[in-house]
Structure 1
Amino acid sequence: MGKHVVFCWDKPLPNSVKLNIDDAALGIPKPAVAGGIFRDPNGNWIMGYARHIGIINSLSVEH
């Protein structure tokens, strides 16, 4: 059976924007990507981005 993980999103302060980012690599060495999303205090999407980082290992992505 798979594990279920529950995440919570904390609202930013009023009149501000929150940026959540993440990155991933598929092994040693493999293609890596990074991305993020900007949200308003109500959780509405403002804009997002994704970027190919290159061929690196998973430890390099996390630093």
Structure 2
Amino acid sequence: MSSAFVREGGGEPPRVWATRESAELSLETWRTIDGRQHDYEIRARPHGGFMIARLNKSGGFDSWVSE
């Protein structure tokens, strides 16, 4: 993963969850906190693990969840 790709969301590296289930639990929390302004989806990484993408309401990519 390139440095530019990692830092795209504001300078912090995105968080990686080991299992889809753990990512789903965090996804529900993010939807509760920020669901009016953004949509979220879980994306599998090619080399293992899962990341949560923050999307704008039109469906375009905004950033990766980093916390």
Give the structure-2-normalised TM-score. 0.32
Larger helix share, 1 or 2: 2
Give the number of the structure whose alpha-carbon radius of gyration is greater: 1
> As a proportion of its length, which structure holds more strand?
1
